[in-house]
Amino acid sequence: MKVGIIGASGYSGELLVRLLARHPQAKLTRVTSRQLAGQAVSEVIPALRGQLPGLAFTNSDPSEVAASEEELYFLALPHGVSAEYAKALTAAGKKVIDLSADFRLGSTSLYKEYYGEEHPAPELLAAAPYVQPELERMLGREAWKTAALIACPGCYPTSILLPLAPLLKSSVVEKDGIVINSASGVSGAGKKATAYYSYCERSESASAYGAPKHRHLSEIEEQLALYADADTVVQFIPHLSPMRYGIETTIVAKAKSGIEALYEVWNKAYPQETTPFVRILPSGTFPETRYVVGTNRADMSAVFDKRTGNFVITSTIDNLWKGASGQAVQIMNLASGFEETAGLL
């Protein structure tokens, strides 16, 4: 299967190229970037020196890529820009997997509230499922696999929804009063040319940012509400940590049952034999980002605090793999009938 990537100049675009370069079934035949057009992919991404011979960045005119022979496209573009390509590509019968925020929200008013602009393509929203693959499997849903346009979850939402959604759905935790802290590696901010993101400024520095209303909050709450079957308001506080990759998420939620029930729900939602990318760790141990960085896995565990009546739930992912490009490839694998782990181990 020939696949293409639109907008591969950022970190998630680069990882997509690397993952597809070694994918056993998908063949990466087109990579676009306005700013890099004409340059060899293996020069722009020096980690790939000697690979992908002949593949160069091309211009990314929507009509041109719509007329291309690739069957499937990944969009690794900023929000607001993705929609234009999604329209052209789906109209041309291509399958589109979008890593931007453009089709993550069901509500256009929420989009406007959090992104400051009118939604760029509301007509596509209804037919663009938001796909957290493991949760779709938990719900027994398969229809998304044939959708023309699929929205990939954001990085923070992935680290939060995977542990929390099943617990809300089965009422193991209270939906009210949830407090979430997530620490992200610096690559989460994208490839930035500012003093703030320079090596000397980010080393030895931890801090909160963007609280209390980070953009991902819209996506987190909209999704949680689906599982809680009720409006859900959470306290979400993102942090920057002095590391390149990884997200560590800590969720405090009021327990409505014991820790055994929580683990039972998780084990049923994510049967360990058939869920390659979610690992459930024993209560009392804590996932560490170093063990998931460079993998497509989410690790999670929970502990009950009898003093407060809360569960303390922690999860870790690689923000660029499971939080973006790795999950996008996983989605392609499932939608295309490939092995779920193809190219991802």
Query: Which DSSP string corresponds to 66-117?
Result: HTSS-SEEEE---TTTHHHHHHHHHHTT-EEEE-SSTTT-S-HHHHHHHHSS
**Token pair recorded at residue 99:** 């890593």
Number of shown-chain residues binding its own copies (CB under 8 A): 76
Q: Which is nearer to its own copies, 120 or 323 (CB)?
A: 323
| Tokens 């014991």 found at | 258
CA distance 189 to 109: 25
- Scanning residues 80 to 119, which ones bind its own copies (CB under 8 A)? none
* Residue 78 sits in the site that holds its own copies (CB under 8 A): no
* Residue 143 sits in the site that holds its own copies (CB under 8 A): no
CA distance 207 to 95: 39
- Chain centroid to CA 245: how far? 13
User: Contact with its own copies (CB under 8 A): which of 211, 258, 271, 339?
Assistant: 211
- Scanning residues 148 to 177, which ones bind its own copies (CB under 8 A)? 177
Of the ranges 58-66, 77-85, 129-137, 280-288, which one interacts with its own copies (CB under 8 A)? 280-288
Concerning whether 155 is annotated as a catalytic residue, the answer is yes
Q: Which is nearer to its own copies, 86 or 313 (CB)?
A: 313
Of the ranges 71-79, 167-175, 178-186, 222-230, which one interacts with its own copies (CB under 8 A)? 178-186
* Residue 223 sits in the site that holds its own copies (CB under 8 A): no
- Say how many C-beta atoms besides its own lie within 10 A of residue 109's C-beta: 10
User: Contact with its own copies (CB under 8 A): which of 54, 116, 195, 337?
Assistant: 195
CA distance 39 to 132: 34
- Scanning residues 227 to 256, which ones bind its own copies (CB under 8 A)? 233-235, 237, 239, 241-246, 248, 250, 252
User: Contact with its own copies (CB under 8 A): which of 2, 34, 141, 213?
Assistant: 213
Sign of the C-alpha dihedral, residues 49, 53, 54, 57?
A: negative
User: Contact with its own copies (CB under 8 A): which of 137, 197, 225, 226?
Assistant: 197
- Which has the closest alpha carbon to 131: 341, 345, 337, 329? 329
CA distance 324 to 76: 9
Per-residue x/- track, 282-321, its own copies (CB under 8 A): ----xxxxxxxxxx-x-x---xxx-xx-x-x-x-x-----
Q: Which is nearer to its own copies, 122 or 271 (CB)?
A: 271
DSSP state of 322: I
Q: Are the C-beta atoms of residues 148 and 110 closer than 8 Å to each other?
A: no
Q: Which is nearer to its own copies, 145 or 244 (CB)?
A: 244
CA distance 71 to 93: 8
* Residue 142 sits in the site that holds its own copies (CB under 8 A): no
- Say how many C-beta atoms besides its own lie within 10 A of residue 300's C-beta: 24
CA distance 141 to 288: 31
**Token pair recorded at residue 262:** 């929580």
User: Contact with its own copies (CB under 8 A): which of 37, 91, 206, 230?
Assistant: 206
280: part of which helix (H) or strand (E)? strand 278-280
* Residue 27 sits in the site that holds its own copies (CB under 8 A): no
Q: Among 17, 101, 155, 178, which one carries the catalytic annotation?
A: 155
User: Contact with its own copies (CB under 8 A): which of 38, 46, 140, 337?
Assistant: 46
Q: How far is the CB of 14 from its own copies (least distance, A)?
A: 11
Q: Which is nearer to its own copies, 50 or 93 (CB)?
A: 50
Of the ranges 77-85, 102-110, 145-153, 187-195, which one interacts with its own copies (CB under 8 A)? 187-195
**Cα–Cα distance list, 83 to 48, 59, 109, 127, 208 (Å):** 29, 17, 16, 13, 31
Instruction: Report, as residue numbers or ranges, the catalytic residues.
Output: 155
